[in-house]
Amino acid sequence: MDEPQEGMDTDNSIERIKTLNPLFKIRYSATHKVLSNLIYRLTPYDSYKQGLVKKIEVLTVSEKNDEASMKNENDIFDEVLLKNGFMLNYSKEKTNVFSKNEVYQTKDDFKECLICMDARISKETLKELESFKEKIFICLERALDTTMKWNLKHLLGDKLIAF
């Protein structure tokens, strides 16, 4: 059954499927509402790493300075940094070097990077990053237009991580 969450978990659907006397049921879905006998899970991140999708976009809707949104923002930082090899004991400090974007200096016992979660990276930030060529820079891929992405890739090489 493809996309079983679309009404296939109702009592009526379950009874009707039973009348078919199936030997077994296989349910394919990215968003199961009722999880039963999970055999395999392919997360969005796994899909990205295996080259099955070009990019992953995360949409977050929240109010600034709200305790819940701050927790959510910290969760996003945790996830991004963990997926890029950082340990959970990382420290994060906002830098004052960047005039147009909120950029954080992040480091753990082994690695350090600059990270920006803003929706757009400004040209001024690109110029200011010239002083940080040796550091990893992590940002949202959707924050970069084609020209900005090319310029950052040219400046930072494989130290640019756009997700």
Locate 116 and state its tokens.
């920006």
Concatenate the DSSP letters of all residues of 45-108 into one string. HHHHHTTSSS---------TT-HHHHHHHHHHHHHHHHHTT--TT-EEEE-SS-SSS--EEEE-
Q: Which is more confident, 89 or 41?
A: 89
| In the chain, where the domains are located | 11-41, 67-162
pTM of the model: 0.57
Asked if the model's pLDDT at residue 68 lies above 50, the reply is no
Asked if the model's pLDDT at residue 65 lies above 90, the reply is no
Pairing verdict, β 112-116 and 104-107: antiparallel
Task: Give the lowest-confidence range in 43-57, 74-88, 110-124.
Answer: 43-57
Q: Report the pLDDT averaged over residues 38-45.
A: 72
pLDDT score of 55: 65
Phi, psi of 114 (to 5 degrees): -110, 140
Instruction: Tell the residue number behind the tokens 């757009």, with chain if given.
Output: 120
pLDDT score of 108: 87
Q: Which is more confident, 151 or 14?
A: 151
Locate 159 and state its tokens.
């130290």
pLDDT score of 66: 47
Q: Burial-class residue 84 by CB neighbours within 10 Å (0-12, 13-18, 19+).
A: middle
Q: Which residue, among 129, 150, 69, 65, has the nearest Cα to 115 in the 3D structure?
A: 129
Q: Which is more confident, 89 or 72?
A: 89
DSSP state at residue 28: B
130 near 152, Cβ under 8 Å?
Answer: no
